[in-house]
Structure 1
Amino acid sequence: MQLVVARIGRAHGIKGEVTVEVRTDEPELRLGPGAVLATDPASAGPLTIETGRVHSGRLLLRFAGVHDRTGAEALRNTLLIADVDPDERPEDEDEYYDHQLIDLDVVTVDGTEVGRITEISHLPTQDLFVVERPDGSEVYVPFVAEIVTDIDLDEQRAVIDPPPGLIDDRAEIASAREDADGPGDDA
């Protein structure tokens, strides 16, 4: 299985280094010296990482055969793609790779179908599941233990216990409020 692990940004300096937008949870594993990565567009690669370092909070890479700014600039916006064993799991049993979660069915603890995970959004405070509902709309589910109670890769599903309002339709919420207030009690 091939996964996009980074996107090459601007050239840095004059010796062929580039900034990299990391798109993997394990950059030390996927983007370390010696790693050979396919590219999109394919004409740019494959690329072998020669060196890597962090500078001002950004990852800088230099590739074998790219030793000047001109060569580095030619790689800008190229996607770096790693071959990943689909059965590979992170070391921590409570962690998952994005590709393991994409396309999981999402159901509530009582078995109600919510939808299918189409994307994982990595935000500074937490990760979110982007869940496509059967009607085509999307709902965002925080990937936290209080809400996502179980990930079952064998059954290809994620079980959630959402707080009120997280996945409820606005019409359902309005109807529930109306029922709680009673008919015609707009006093």
Structure 2
Amino acid sequence: MAPKQSGITQLRVGRLVKAHGLKGAIKLELYTDEPERRFVPGASFSLQVPIDSPWRGKSIVLRELRWFNDAPVVFFEGVEDRTTAETLIRAILWVDKDDTEELDPDTWYDHELIGLTVMVAGEAVGTVVRVDHFPAQDLIVVKTDTGDVFVPFVKEIVPEVNISNSTITVTPPGGLFDINTD
């Protein structure tokens, strides 16, 4: 997460992964559940790029989002050919998020979950170190004393996320957090 200034937080919403075709299109890896809201014509994105990139410190404006074979492809203003598109590969896209933005009560950003203590039957078993996003469901990765545990992030297994107490309550199926006592 980028620094917070005047009630505004920067949120990572995507990463540019590969030039697509000859007219400046770029395949996009989404980091948002709301591409139809975040990727609209005229949307502006701050870029996170390497220090030596010509795009360092710049923003970019979306011209169009298209879907090819269920994969998002973006076109940006000023990116008219493949050569220019290739200079943006691996750039991470950020947007401003106003703290007053309303979310569904069961919606959290990855940065809100990372670092929370995972509780099973009232006992701390580990800490969330990352969230992996997959088509079927998300997984929270929990670092425990015996290694990482991948927990499906579904209501039946993760019934409560309490940001104010910095905890996530998990009701795992048998064997998920069992520790070998040998």
TM-score range, shorter chain: 0.7 to 0.9
**CA drift at 1:11:** 2.0
TM superposition shift of 1:37: 0.9
Aligned counterpart, 1:75 = 88
Q: Which amino acid aligns with 1:84?
A: K
Distance 1:99 1:89 in 2: 17
Deviation at 1:120, TM superposition (A): 0.8
- Identify, as 1 or 2, the structure richer in helix: 1
SS in 2 for 1:3: strand
Q: Please, which runs of 5 or more residues in structure 1 have no aligned partner?
A: 175-187
- Number of residue pairs matched? 169
> The residue matched to 1:6 in structure 2 has which SS?
strand
In the aligned structure 1, how far is the partner of 2:173 from the partner of 2:165?
A: 24
Q: Which stretches in structure 2 are left out of the alignment for 5+ residues?
A: 1-8
1:169 aligns to 2:182 (yes or no): no
Q: Decide whether the 8 Å contact of 1:89 with 1:96 is kept in 2.
A: no
User: How many angstroms apart in 1 are the aligned matches of 2:105 and 2:97?
Assistant: 18
For residues 149 and 170 of structure 2, the distance between their equivalents in structure 1, rounded to whole angstroms, comes to: 13
TM-score by length of 1: 0.80
Structure 1 CA distance for aligned equivalents of residues 178 and 113 of structure 2? 22
Residues 59-98 of structure 1 deviation map (CA, whole Å, 9 limit, x = unaligned): 11111111122211221121212222356453x3223222
In 2 relative to 1, CA 23–126 (structure 1 residues): closer, same or farther, beyond 3 Å? same
Q: Deviations over 1:78-137 (max 9, x none)?
A: 1212222356453x32232222222221112x310011111111123221110112x372
Give matches, 1:72-111, under 5 Å: 72-85=85-98, 88-90=101-103, 92-108=104-120, 110-111=121-122
Moved over 4 A (4+): none
Match of residue 46 from structure 2: 38
Q: Does the 8 Å contact 1:11/1:72 carry over to 2? A: yes
Q: Which residue of 1 aligns with 2:27?
A: 19
Identical positions, percent = 39
In structure 1, what is the Cα distance between the partners aligned to 2:70 and 2:123? 43
Amino acid at match of 1:169: I
1:60 aligned onto 2:73 = yes
Would the aligned equivalents of 2:156 and 2:171 in 1 still touch at CA under 8 Å? yes
Question: Quick check: which has more Rg, 1 or 2?
Answer: 1
